[in-house]
Structure 1
Amino acid sequence: MQKSSFSILITTKNRKDDLLFTLRKIQHLLDRDDVDCLICDDASTDGTFEFIQNNFPKIKLIQNSKSQGLIYSRNRLMELVTTEFAISIDDDLHFVTQYPLEIIEKAYYENPKAGLFSFRIFWDVKEPEKTETTEVLHQMQSFAGGANVWRMTAWRDIPNYPAWFVFYGEEDFASYQLFKKNWKIYYLPEVLVNHRVDIKKRKKGPDYSLRLQRSLRSGWYLYFMFYPLSVIPKKMIYSIWMQLKLKVFKGDFKALKAIIFALFNVLFSIPKIIKNANRLSMSEYKAYHKIEHTKLYWRPENE
């Protein structure tokens, strides 16, 4: 029997239909002998666990007894991986590229210091009509949390994702840790995925303020955990000012609530910040910021 080389990891909560769509789209990968699939159900109440258990017996399924959040669930899955590579995808995301595993394996072979590859992501409810790209493999600062593949030796060389972040920020946390260990992160545009999200609707969603709060606080946690101390005050002031200028002063008072709550989150998380700090030296900080910014969005008209 062929030993599995890849694990496909999916976290989900109350999105049974999205998850089913994804599993059907990647069924040809799940049928392979060299692929394991692991799903963590974060205490869904829509019957997700039972449905997967009854209809996809080959999938290794775990469940949180109570909701613990995306990052906690990703850590649980990573702890169960026994393969050389681990692919993380969101439950509303699927591969457009037909044979992604061969591309990934070749890319790792050609880049021995690659700890992680991040995929080219098309954000829309439907797949793009045009899939070709002129983009090429290149190093990036960070990666997309729900569209990437880890070399497990690199994952085991750094701390787990910070579960106390709950949502957002785990990618940059890992990117700083990888940088400190001399692992590299690459953008792999040859592998295209479709994230089935309407971005405009998401920005107007009822959880907008909570999402913004969690996004801001995770960014500020990272400042205090990894940036040289002399850089932090200027970065914090600029970050807050831009939120006020671009959102609050234009009448977005949900953003003001998010800013205030995020600041309190930072204050109450000081003990955890101190415990988990792994600060960059000034030379490391400058070197990190010379690396190209993370590529999260791709659209055909950019070509």
Structure 2
Amino acid sequence: MQNQPTIATVIVTYNAREYIGKCIDSLYKSSVSTAIIVVDNNSSDGTDQIVQNNFPEVKLIQSSVNLGFGKANNIGINWALANQAEFVFLLNQDAWLEEDALSEMLAVAAANPDYGILSPLHLQYDSQSWHQGFHRYVKLFAPALLEAETELSTIYEVNFVPAALWMMNSTALKKAGGFDPIYFMYGEDDDLAARIRAAGFKVGVASSAKGHHMEKSISDRGISVKRLAAKYFGHYTAVLKHSKHNVIYRYLSITKSVIQDILTHSSRGSHKEAKARILAFWNILQIIPKIELSRQKICCEGAFLNIVSAGAIDRENLDRILASDSVAGADR
């Protein structure tokens, strides 16, 4: 591709030794070049050493704590924007791209500058079958994409697509901002997609590009109470942040809804569901001032980003950069 826009790929890792080699290797094999930034969330399985030893060209940023998905991605996004990347691609540690995926997405982005987020097709990790998580959203927002007999369009607009494989343009990021670190896991990608749409950009799927993502087989029945609570925390936080009602109405409404859910699940014997909602709501009560501060901050351009000078993000001053965030992630 002539005059290829600059693109940087951000990979957040946590105990990813099983996947990280294939993930990064797919970028090395890409038909277009990309800078690669790995932000390691204090892995204990040697993931960071694998990156250091096998991929020395990769920019590795090592955190001494687990920052969560969104906050760690913000570190990589900051580095990419500080180094003048025109596009930032977020790639899950358990995902990989086909050779022409970046090239195809850059071509689609060039023809559709009003799209702030572009995603390739999400396929199973080791096959050409649909990733079921992706399939659910596409079936809801762009069912024509799933019809084999229909000639595919270049791009399909959707309200949301999972952030396992996201390409964002820098203009949208600088306007809408990065991930809100109030979410540790679950809900941060929904939140950012909504803010990018609110900033006047679209979210879409580039049908000619393909990525592969490991399918998580765990269901809510097999999930731990703590992890299930994190899902509900994300949902409650999003409702409180984005509702247009006043503060009293918002918190009374969410309290009523949570109590009804707890009573319903308790009466049905779904004690884990009830406990998860109680834990999620308790965590919400602990950080009401942070939620309200976050609600105010999303109105600001570049929210939750701290774009430093090129090359300034290193392990020595990572703590200083993290400390500059005005909204901390919830401990859950």
| Shared fold (TM-score, shorter chain, > 0.5) | yes
Give secondary structure in 2 for the equivalent of 1:127: coil
- Once residues 240 and 52 of structure 1 are traced to their aligned partners in structure 2, the CA distance between those partners, rounded to angstroms, is 47
The 1:279–1:15 alpha-carbon spacing in structure 2 relative to 1, beyond 3 Å, is closer
Percent same amino acid at aligned positions? 19
Give secondary structure in 2 for the equivalent of 1:164: coil
| Residue type of the alignment partner of 1:93 | A
Contact 1:176 1:226 in 2 (8 A): no
The aligned counterpart of 2:66 is 67
The aligned counterpart of 1:57 is 56
1:215 pairs with 2:214: no
Contact 1:13 1:43 in 2 (8 A): yes
- How many Å apart are 1:217 and its aligned residue? 1.1
Give secondary structure in 2 for the equivalent of 1:155: helix
- How many Å apart are 1:240 and its aligned residue? 6.9
Contact 2:8 2:87 in 1 (8 A): yes
Q: What runs of 5+ residues in structure 2 fail to find an aligned partner?
A: 132-144, 299-332
The 1:109–1:77 alpha-carbon spacing in structure 2 relative to 1, beyond 3 Å, is same
The aligned counterpart of 2:245 is 229
| Residue type of the alignment partner of 1:140 | V
The aligned counterpart of 2:122 is 121
- How many Å apart are 1:242 and its aligned residue? 6.3
- Once residues 251 and 27 of structure 1 are traced to their aligned partners in structure 2, the CA distance between those partners, rounded to angstroms, is 51
| Residue type of the alignment partner of 1:92 | D
| Residue type of the alignment partner of 2:87 | F
**Cα RMSD (Å) of the superposition?**
2.9
Encode CA deviations 1:107-155: one digit per residue, 9 max, x unaligned. 1112121111133223x45323589954642222233122110101111
Encode CA deviations 1:44-89: one digit per residue, 9 max, x unaligned. 1111112211111111111101222121111110000031111111
The aligned counterpart of 1:261 is 279
5 Å-filtered alignment, 1:188-203, equals 188-199=206-217, 201=218, 203=220
5 Å-filtered alignment, 1:106-145, equals 106-122=107-123, 124=124, 126-128=126-128, 134=147, 136=153, 137-145=155-163
Encode CA deviations 1:228-281: one digit per residue, 9 max, x unaligned. 217956677567756876x6555432221110011112212211121121599x
Contact 1:11 1:40 in 2 (8 A): yes
Give secondary structure in 2 for the equivalent of 1:157: helix
- How many Å apart are 1:9 and its aligned residue? 1.1
TM-score, reference length from structure 2: 0.72
The 1:198–1:166 alpha-carbon spacing in structure 2 relative to 1, beyond 3 Å, is closer
Range 236-245 or range 167-176, more displaced? 236-245
- Once residues 156 and 130 of structure 2 are traced to their aligned partners in structure 1, the CA distance between those partners, rounded to angstroms, is 22
Contact 1:41 1:49 in 2 (8 A): yes
- Once residues 18 and 58 of structure 1 are traced to their aligned partners in structure 2, the CA distance between those partners, rounded to angstroms, is 18
The aligned counterpart of 2:189 is 171
- Once residues 103 and 236 of structure 1 are traced to their aligned partners in structure 2, the CA distance between those partners, rounded to angstroms, is 46
The aligned counterpart of 2:176 is 158
Give secondary structure in 2 for the equivalent of 1:267: helix
- Once residues 263 and 120 of structure 2 are traced to their aligned partners in structure 1, the CA distance between those partners, rounded to angstroms, is 33
The 1:204–1:130 alpha-carbon spacing in structure 2 relative to 1, beyond 3 Å, is closer
The 1:102–1:241 alpha-carbon spacing in structure 2 relative to 1, beyond 3 Å, is farther
The number of residues matched between the two structures is 272
Give secondary structure in 2 for the equivalent of 1:138: strand
- Once residues 195 and 242 of structure 1 are traced to their aligned partners in structure 2, the CA distance between those partners, rounded to angstroms, is 33
